[in-house]
Structure 1
Amino acid sequence: MVGTEDLRRSVVVALQTSAVAAGYYAAGWLGLMRPLVVEGAVVTPIWPPTGVAVACLLVLGMRCWPGIALGALLIMTSLTTLRPAAIGILVGNTAAPVCGSLLLRKVGFRTDIGRLRDGLALVFLGALTAMVISATVGAGLLVLTGRLDAPEFWPVWMAWWVGDAMGVLIVTPVLLLLHGLRRPLRVTRWKEALCLAVIACAVVPAATHSSISLLFLVYPLLIWTALRFQLAGSMLCALFASVMATVAATDRIGPFEGLTQVEVMTKLQAFNGAMALTALLLSAVITEQRNTRRSVERACQELVEVLEHLTAGEFPPGWPAMDDGRRGQPGAS
């Protein structure tokens, strides 16, 4: 019996590791479809594998880190030979999401991101702080191996760091949302969601591909989706807008036309970062306020029921009955 349990546990761990590695590898190739070149180094405006890694670590626990390392190894071997620098980059890409998830667990992060503190923790600990590791290790090894000149360290480091952070800010909330999805929307909500989707499909491509700089048109749409659908609406809208902006930036069209490589990266990262922060923090604040209001309404309803029973000379359900002549004193013992 013990041997069967151990075998079953080993099979589950192996399947989870394989699934995480496959997800990391697939996300990596999605990110590599739209690369940008900064100071001769190829970087991605958004590196989705970091978002996949952090989400898997938060949901499955630390036991899935070998899957992250395996996925990173598969990406590295498909791009280059396994030299010491490549192995070092692999270690940095694995250590960054692991440290990010540990920091989030340390502060009591909740995967539903239903509190403002959860949104702030994901931004400042899971993304901005933890991804310093992968950017520093990656850009530093490129300098040490001579593939990057020392003056070019900071531009490449910045692009690497922001790309990894954007993966956490945009991809991780979407995956956590899908994991926590329990019930479908009502019919009336589906109609509103479909209306929002149609508007987004019209507004976002126009804003990101127009020769006139109309990127600001995305923000009213983000606010609308956050108010009506909280994290689900705002983060899906942010993900779609980020993908469309990345396509426009790599094709050098719309608001990114005529810019240098560094200017394209800076403008794209500023847009993606501001949009992700707006969507994540606004939806967290709205969700927290709605949960607080529901708790207050529930407490008021319970208080009304208690007062109704006491006014009728009855004890509310669950209260101990008093047989010693003190029935009018609920607090007596």
Structure 2
Amino acid sequence: MCETLLVAACYYGAGRLGLSQQLVADGAVVTPVYPPTGVALACLLLFGVRCLPGIAVGALLVVASLTAPGLSAVGVVIGNTAAPLCALLLLRAVGFRVSLSRLRDGLALVFLGALTAMLISSGAGVGILVLTDKLATDDVWLVWLAWWVGDAMGVVIVTPLLLLLHRARLPPPSGRWGEAAGLTLVVCVLVPLVTYSSVSVLFLVFPILIWAALRFQLAGGMPCALFASVVATVAARDEAGSFGRLTDVETMMKLQAFNGTLGLTALLLSAVISEQLNTRRSVERACHELVEALQHLNAGGPGSTGAPGRDGR
């Protein structure tokens, strides 16, 4: 019961946080990044299907905070619960590792856990709204696209960060602490400046993101991507900086393209670097073991053990 309540509380908190950054496009309210999908999938990957009741309760609380309970609310809750469960089953089927230490893990999370599984939540949600006459048919594709991308970006950006935090350990003091502090300062200063600049220079965020992913893998890339996504979402909501003088639809499309590219770059580049580092460590370990084996064989040879030679002495 305590675990169910905790998962529900985390889901609800993430839902309210995501809904606080809503955008309006042609009269439809959209959420560029919906964190609860990432929270739900991370809980399922870490603790198993026993988290499903908590996810369902959390989804019901989020929906109840927006509209009166009814058939549409039930449909949305079912879709938001089934989508992360489907993502879990798909990821288990391909041997997904929560360490995200291989490129195949990053690709599986993006294409199976995010883009494929979240078709369920977006399809169920939009479908039930159409069936209950709460959504005009002219807005179906726009709302569906925004719903699908928002849920998918929640998985791409939030799930890796939660998986990382679950296994995080404080590293020993080293010279990289200075680089980490410098990177944090650059991100906190430069990302808002670039985002709120009257000149559209959002692309300048990507060299910083690449630096973070190359040097610190997921621990650097995903927080950087999340921070940039939040800053860009706030700027888009305020129609400021790079998102000024755009129509509602243009703002939504630009923001979702930016967030999607951020998440994919951080996740996949971090996975590639981690896989290369793990391969190098494995090779070094194998070479070290081979050297030890050779030394052991040499130490056991006739010349070093004092065994008698051919003349018997």
Normalization by structure 2: what TM-score?
Answer: 0.94
The corresponding residue for 1:323 is: none
The corresponding residue for 1:276 is: 263
Q: Does 1:92 align with 2:76?
A: no
The count of residues paired between Structure 1 and Structure 2 equals 303
- CA deviations over 1:279-326 (Å, ceiling 9, x no partner): 0000000000000001001111111122223233359xxxxxxxxxxx
The corresponding residue for 1:69 is: 56
Secondary structure of 1:79 counterpart? coil
The corresponding residue for 2:164 is: 177
Q: Does 1:39 align with 2:22?
A: no
* Alpha-carbon shift at residue 207 of structure 1 (Å): 1.3
Contact 1:39 1:156 in 2 (8 A): no
The corresponding residue for 1:190 is: 177
* Alpha-carbon shift at residue 182 of structure 1 (Å): 2.6
The corresponding residue for 1:219 is: 206
Letter in 2 for 1:53: A
Q: How does 1:107-122 map to 2 (within 5 A)?
A: 107-122=94-109
5+ residue gaps, structure 1, are 1-13, 316-326, 328-333
Contact 1:46 1:167 in 2 (8 A): yes
Q: Does 1:126 align with 2:92?
A: no
Q: Cα gap change, 1:303/1:187 in structure 2, threshold over 3 Å: closer, same or farther?
A: closer
Contact 1:38 1:159 in 2 (8 A): no
Letter in 2 for 1:244: V
Q: Does 1:105 align with 2:89?
A: no
The corresponding residue for 1:48 is: 35
Secondary structure of 1:42 counterpart? strand
* Alpha-carbon shift at residue 141 of structure 1 (Å): 1.5
Q: Does 1:247 align with 2:234?
A: yes
Q: Percent identity?
A: 65
Contact 1:208 1:254 in 2 (8 A): yes
The corresponding residue for 1:3 is: none
Secondary structure of 2:29 counterpart? strand
5+ residue gaps, structure 2, are 308-313
Distance, in Å, in 1 between the alignment partners of 2:129 and 2:67 is 13
The corresponding residue for 1:78 is: 65
Secondary structure of 2:258 counterpart? helix
State which drifts further: 75-84 or 305-314.
Answer: 305-314
Letter in 1 for 2:283: V
Q: Does 1:25 align with 2:15?
A: no
* Alpha-carbon shift at residue 186 of structure 1 (Å): 2.3
Secondary structure of 2:217 counterpart? helix
- CA deviations over 1:149-207 (Å, ceiling 9, x no partner): 22221111000000000000000010000001134242422221111100101111011
CA RMSD of aligned residues (A): 1.4
Q: Does 1:259 align with 2:265?
A: no
Secondary structure of 1:45 counterpart? coil
